Amino acid sequence: MVKPSSFLLALGIVLFSSPAWADHTERDRQTEVSAFTLQAQQARLGLLKLEYGILDRWMVGTYTLPWVLMPIVKGPILNLHTKVRLLDAGNFHLAGRLGIYYANVQNIESSSVENGSFKGTIVPMSFIGSYVLSKRWTVSSELSWVQTVAHGDVESPSDSSVGGAVGQSNFQLSVSAEYRFGPHVALNLLTRFAPYVQPLELTTDAEVGPDTVVQLEAEVESGNQNAFLIQPGVTFSWGIWNLRAGLGVGNIFIPGPLLVSGLRTLVPDFDFYVRF
């Protein structure tokens, strides 16, 4: 049994004895929608996700929300992602990002999750290029293909729905810009666009009463063709403490699996994290 005081002490040592403070610097750059990675043995522990730099060019991570939901939905939602910086050529940097998300959940009902029922694997793959224009300006662009594989027959769109977004393969483009006021404050602008969302294919065998058998082959589009998101925000960084917040408008692109919802609304972005 670990005493609380011992745990706090250990946490304090971990947090404050790290040599790498993570204000915005030449080396410590934001890793969201950029080609940059954490440094070796650097961690990013946040409300949204946990990430760790294995090498200077290679980091791994996982999103926290699925782990929190697992006991609630009584089904596995496993997720892992990794990013590798492939190329540093002067001010240009190129990285590849790969994630894998596996879920087998049924009958989720809450105020925020509508008829969540999903059994499938989602593999988002991205290539991200970043160009450091100046000491203050950095722009990045990301090309992503999200491959979804439904396990078993999908009998309705809700069977393939994750928090309101249908588990459809899609191709999307992102462009982001960062403007640094200094080591503590950066403005962000993120734009996403999904020009292609694959229609969901369904096969249903239904019995209607004792005498009728129906085989239904269907394609479903979720109103998320040409989905877009424009989301300005800001990141505050003070030592190891970081707060990222933003508010945009457009379709919801679920962070991590990058599934696209057909719902157009105000889309917030928020994460509070330590990086050390």
CA distances from 20 to 24, 39, 111, 235 (A): 11, 9, 41, 18
For the window 147-186, what string marks contact with other proteins as x by the rule CB under 8 A?
x-------xxxxx-x----x--x-x---------------
Rounded to a whole number of angstroms, the minimum distance from the CB of residue 117 to other proteins is 9
Task: Confirm or reject binding of residue 121 to other proteins (CB under 8 A).
Answer: no
Contact flag: residue 45 with other proteins (CB under 8 A): no
Name every residue whose Cβ is closer than 8 Å to that of residue 46 and which is 6 or more positions away in sequence. 64, 242, 271, 272, 273, 274
Where does residue 203 rank: exposed (0-12), middle (13-18), buried (19+ CB within 10 A)?
A: exposed
Residue 84 binds to other proteins (criterion: CB under 8 A): no
Q: Are 81 and 99 in contact (CB under 8 A)?
A: yes
Contact 115, 161 (CB under 8 A): yes
Site string for other proteins, 208-247 (x = CB under 8 A): xx-xxxxxxxxxxxxx------------------------
CA dist., res. 143 & res. 35, Å (int): 12
Read off φ and ψ for residue 70, nearest 5 degrees.
-55, -45
Between 42 and 224, CB nearer to other proteins: 224
- Minimum distance from residue 78 beta carbon to other proteins (Å): 23
Nearest-approach distance from CB 145 to other proteins, in angstroms: 5
Find the binder of other proteins among 56, 263, 272, 274 (CB under 8 A): 263
Residues 6 or more apart whose CB falls under 8 angstroms from that of 257 comprise: 79, 99, 101, 122, 124, 146, 162
Phi, psi of 228, deg, nearest 5: -145, 160
Task: Give the interface size with other proteins as a residue count (CB under 8 A).
Answer: 45
- What minimum distance in Å lies between the beta carbon of 187 and other proteins? 27
**Nearest-approach distance from CB 108 to other proteins, in angstroms:** 12
Residue 81, token pair as written in the block: 């992602």
Per-residue mark of binding to other proteins, 93-112 (x: CB under 8 A):
-x-x----------------
Name the residues that contact other proteins, by CB under 8 A.
86-87, 94, 96, 114-115, 125, 127, 129, 143, 145, 147, 155-159, 161, 166, 169, 171, 196, 198-199, 201-202, 204, 206, 208-209, 211-223, 262-263
